[in-house]
Amino acid sequence: MQKLTTREDLERMANTIRKDIISMLLTAGSGHSAGPLDLADIATALYFNVLNTSPKQKTDPDRDRLHISCGHTAPVWYATLARAGYFPVEELKTLRKLGTRLQGHVDRLTTPGIESSAASLGQGLGIACGAAYAGVIDGKTYQTYALLSDGEHDEGSIWEAVAFAGNYKLAHLTAIIDRNNIQIDGPTETVMRKESLKEKYEAFGWHVIEIDGHNMSEIIGACNEAKAIVEQPVCIIAHTIAGKGVDFMEYQYQWHGNPPNKDQAREALKQLRSLDNKIVPSDL
């Protein structure tokens, strides 16, 4: 798996993944748009720069682990894993088809590179806590990541895991929250107030970093900072724009669980292709 070290290369990969997402959803005729699009930058930064993992390390006990709690964001992870070499890019066309390895929610039993299955929200952080605690018991220093949606913080199971990690001072555990401010029923602060997430995590003994979830330098910088903190778990609150890159989807909770139709997909891909021309050479 090729490591990307310039902002230009990372942003181009993220935009390629966004185009993959739109094409996949159009072919499938179902699936989630907003979350996968806004997570493309984080997914790219993780798999092409941050994580110590690769298709050849799938069973390496020292590999880093990423546990995806919001399993409905599957398209972005499938596109990222395919681009990282875990399976052929052509297989993305099978999203949600009968017998596919690419189910509507991530499934570790079918999809290469997926660490844990996810459907019901609120479970991923608890699984990640178990993986991190196992590392402590085994004397390992691999990094364990949990990718969480902001909406699933409605679930009590999330806060049990937050308390567990803080109590046991689980170093090498990093939670990344996709703070896009939407969930399927509407804006998160309307459905059930979440703020202040930073103060809540800190109250449970976590170190908290807030970033722009579309800035590659900030994403990678926060992950590197988290690796250096060895006395407590770390929470990265990544502020993102739902539907990022497609103007008629951005900020709109109605796109949480809906795919584009043919005309909408054509317009979305046109916009994303135009973004390729706006990416300028730059270092991280």
Q: What domains can be seen in the chain, in order of their start residue?
A: 7-276 (3.40.50.970)
In this prediction the pTM is 0.96
Q: What is the predicted pLDDT for the residue at 280?
A: 86
Cα distance between residue 284 and residue 276, in whole Å: 18
Q: What is the predicted pLDDT for the residue at 282?
A: 83
Q: What is the predicted pLDDT for the residue at 283?
A: 80
Angle (deg, nearest 10), helices 262-276 and 7-28: 170
186 bridge partner residues:
183
Q: What is the predicted pLDDT for the residue at 92?
A: 97
Q: What is the pLDDT of residues 126-136, one digit of tens each?
A: 999 999 999 99
Cβ count near 50 (within 10 Å):
23
Calculate what percentage of the chain has a pLDDT beyond 70: 100
Q: What is the pLDDT of residues 10-66, one digit of tens each?
A: 999 999 999 999 999 999 999 999 999 999 999 999 999 999 999 998 889 999 999
Q: What is the pLDDT of residues 77-128, one digit of tens each?
A: 999 999 999 999 999 999 999 999 999 999 999 999 999 999 889 999 999 9
Cα distance between residue 143 and residue 111, in whole Å: 21
Mean of all residue pLDDT scores within the chain: 96
66 bridge partner residues:
145
Q: What is the predicted pLDDT for the residue at 1?
A: 66
